[in-house]
Amino acid sequence: MATNVKKKRRINPALLAHGGMDIPFLCFVLALLTIGLIMMFSASYTYCYYNYGGDSLYYFKRQFFFAIVGIIAMFVASKFKVEIYKVAATPLLAVSYLLLVVVLFVSPPPGFEEFHRWITIPGITTFQPSEIAKLAIILYLAMHIGEHYKGINSNEIMQVRNFRMPVRTYCFLLYVAIVGVACVLVYLENHVSGTLLIFALGLMMMWFAGFDYRIFVIGIVLVVAAAVIVVLNPDILPAHAQPRILAWVDKDYDPRGVRWQTNNALYAIGSGGLFGVGLGNSKQKQLYVSEPQNDFIFSIVCEELGVIGAAVIIILFVLLVWRGFYIAIHTKDKFASLLAMGLSFQVGLQASLNIAVVTDVLPNTGISLPFFSYGGTSLMMLLFEMGLILGISRTANIKRS
């Protein structure tokens, strides 16, 4: 019967991770996921009502389905020893490069003609290859750094073809190339925010690798300088990104166009005040904040739950990132540790940038809020990644009370 079938297909126990997973981390994930789902429903129902023929549940049903699939994926992923994913690192990087090239030749959805960010598999899903590239780069760098950690952090010399060079140099150049190629490809999509995220993730992974800190100081100084230059001369940016900088500098710029979304997000946050107008009562989601279920969902959260509710969510994100790092620090295996740190950082980076954008601290860029923004594929992937961290936590040396 069923048990027999199961027994036949039983996975080699050597591949499975043992030990309990980290409950605090799981709690943070589930808490964010639950709040995220509820808020996505609240934020989207007017939008759906008007755009999907009165079906207010249109997005919620889809998101909920992907959340269920994602949770299953998370638990399945957490069951395996994390080492087995090393096998996938190189092919995944290759596939993601391929997809980043392919996406440049796919015709974009109507209304987004300049942006080559999405690949649609008709009837199934739409996804962004840059999302996959992020995971691929974290995974590959974690694997590679894990294998060469000692080499990078010593004066070891290696032979590459006819050249002898320090491992450190070799790895540095390799990583710069991997991240650089990805950045260039994503940039070609007309996707500045994606480029920055990949750049940041790559830089952080290299930071973990242990390269000379002066490189990063110089790097950060260069990034800040670049940012200042861009803000002062927006015309050096691609055409689609320029107005966003202009609109960030000049708060009165094109209020019914570029600044519409940001302004309405600010109105929403202001309307919420300290305690919020109550769950479901946002008025700004009534078609004022464009696509309130997407990148600007946090403004609706603020309006309905107030600054207090929003602060609780920020704290949950901080706790999640902290716990991810905590797990990583307590993991012996360098690959597992680096992977956990990379993934945790990714969530923290996206969440913090998103909140900064919604509150107009940073210019409007297309960064979604993990666990909250609508997007089935990316939610599923996120939960899978959380599954990886949970899997790592099983082997981590954490005192459990």
d(CA 186, CA 179): 10
CB of 126 to other proteins, least distance (A): 25
CA 216 to chain centre: 22
Out of 263, 364, 373, 393, the only residue in the binding site for other proteins (CB under 8 A) is 263
Q: Which of 24, 166, 210, 366 binds other proteins (CB under 8 A)?
A: 210
Q: How far is the CB of 49 from other proteins (least distance, A)?
A: 10
Go through 107-146 and write b for each residue having 16 or more CB atoms within 10 A of its CB, e for each that does not.
Answer: ebeeeeeeebbbbeeeeeeebbbbbbbbbbbbbbbbbbbb
In one-letter notation, the amino acid at residue 132 is I
Shortest Å, Cβ 140 to other proteins: 18
Contacts with other proteins by CB under 8 A: the residue count is 55
For residue 41 the two structure tokens come to 């429903």
Report the candidate in 77, 314, 346 with the shortest Cα–Cα distance to residue 204.
346
* Binder among 348, 363, 375, 376 for other proteins (CB under 8 A): 348
Q: Is residue 176 packed enough to be buried (19+ CB in 10 Å), middle (13-18) or exposed (0-12)?
A: middle
Using DSSP's 3-state secondary structure scheme, residue 124 falls into coil
Interface with other proteins includes 170 (CB under 8 A)? no
* Interface of this chain with other proteins, residues 53 to 112, rule: CB under 8 A: none
Per-residue tokens: 46: 């007017």
- In DSSP notation, 147-185 reads HHHHHHTS--EEEETTEEEEHHHHHHHHHHHHHHHHHHH
Which part of the chain contacts other proteins (CB under 8 A), choosing from 6-14, 108-116, 129-137, 334-342? 334-342
Please select the residue that binds other proteins; options are 76, 87, 102, 153, rule is CB under 8 A: 153
Residue from 25, 45, 296, 317 in contact with other proteins (CB under 8 A): 317
Stretch that binds other proteins, among 175-183, 231-239, 355-363, 387-395 (CB under 8 A): 355-363
Nearer to other proteins, 238 or 273 (CB): 273
Give the contacts of 291 (CB within 8 A, at least 6 positions apart): 47, 261
Closest CA to 137 of 339, 381, 391: 339
Distances from the Cα of 290 to the Cαs of 36, 46, 295, in angstroms?
A: 18, 11, 10
Q: Nearer Cβ to other proteins, position 120 or 286?
A: 286
Which residue type occupies 76? V
Q: How far is the CB of 289 from other proteins (least distance, A)?
A: 9
Nearer to other proteins, 180 or 210 (CB): 210
327 belongs to the binding site for other proteins (CB under 8 A): no
198 CB-near residues (< 8 Å, 6+ apart): 130, 133, 134, 137, 179, 182, 183, 186
Q: Which of residues 286-315 bind other proteins (CB under 8 A)?
A: 286-288, 302, 306-307, 310-311, 314
Instruction: Give the interface segment with other proteins, choosing from 51-59, 82-90, 164-172, 204-212 (CB under 8 A).
Output: 204-212
Interface contacts to other proteins, rule CB under 8 A: 46, 50, 149, 153, 204, 207-208, 210, 263-264, 266-274, 281, 283-284, 286-288, 302, 306-307, 310-311, 314, 317-318, 321-322, 325, 328-329, 334, 337, 341, 345, 348-349, 351-356, 358-362
